[in-house]
Amino acid sequence: MRTLFAALLAFAAGVLLMAWLPGRTSSSAVAMTPAAASSVAAASSSDDGGDDQNDADWPQQGPSPEQVLYAQPQMLRDELAKLGPRVPGKPNLYLVAFAGDGSQDVFRNEAEYAATMFRKRFGASTHTLVLENNPASLSSYPIAGWNNLEAALDGLSRVMHPDDILMLYLTTHGSDDHELLVDMDPLPLDQIGAQDLADILKEHAFKWKVVVVNACYSGGFIPPLATKGTLVLTSARTDRSSFGCGTESDLTYFGHAFLVDALNHTDNFINAFDQARTEIAQWEQHDKLTPSRPQSYVGDGIEDELAAWRKGIAPGPSVRFMPAPAASAPATAGL
């Protein structure tokens, strides 16, 4: 699947992708027009009748699967261009919010809120980028997939300094074999396992990292990610489910407790995690659920580096959570 997706992107983008320089000023908008190369195989086309089921969530009004694939390199360039200039003389933090499952709005809500809240609350030295699978935002954000994640990290590696901090916030469903669901049917997207994510990060020279994995069984991501200079926070133990996802939810338990309730009152990620873990345990006890037991790993040096980042910011007021709008415009948050 990953090979097919890469081939589609490479064919559609052609020399545009090869010529990409993330620091170059990009166009202000992406035109979702039919691809000039009409011979590109649309991801939704198949002789297998089963694709009718896969296409059920694809928007009737909007770009086709082929157009979405064709647009990815330009959309990613545009998002990288929106990061804003690095603030000199202090550590900067770069957040990539990754919403993997396109069938439920709860993950989109979390990714967009995380990006909005971090920008508003932590100021100009905090930069955010959203990768997201959702039928309502196919024209607004690059899709969340293996290739786009690698491309986003490639772009960030060209602008980040050695004392800057990379933060990944991944929110989606997880399996008991520690694999993240990455899905926007009918696009051919690969799943991302714990070792896969570790390997992706190893390909880039980020000295300081914060990795938050909000998914069932996400504790299984800690062993391969447990390295010097890395803080890993997960919403569940390696053998436990986490809660709050579903079509009727606006936020997961972890997203609500960590992003909304904790980080709106502290800029210390470890303290926020401890607060969220306590609050989640109370909710689970009230709802008579098997405790999810969120887990953490603190690698050597990362606490001091995060403290240096905190010294360079003046946190703003709390940012009220609002679900992402039904339209394909980016979400906003009210103060």
Instruction: Tell me the pLDDT tens digit for each residue of 59-76.
Output: 877 789 999 999 999 999
Task: List pLDDT tens digits, range 173-192.
Answer: 999 999 999 999 999 999 99
Number of domains in the chain: 1
**Structure pTM?**
0.83
pLDDT confidence band for 56 (50 / 70 / 90): low
CATH number of the domain that 186 lies in?
3.40.50.1460
Domain presence at residue 57: no
Domain presence at residue 31: no
Domain presence at residue 330: no
Buried b (16+ CB within 10 A) or exposed e, 254-286: bbbbbbbbbbbeebbbbebbebbbebbbeebee
In terms of pLDDT, which residue wins out, 13 or 140? 140
Domain presence at residue 295: yes
CB neighbour list of residue 68: distance below 8 Å, 6 or more residues apart: 138, 143, 187
Domain ranges, residue 11: 2-22+68-311
Residues in the chain: 335
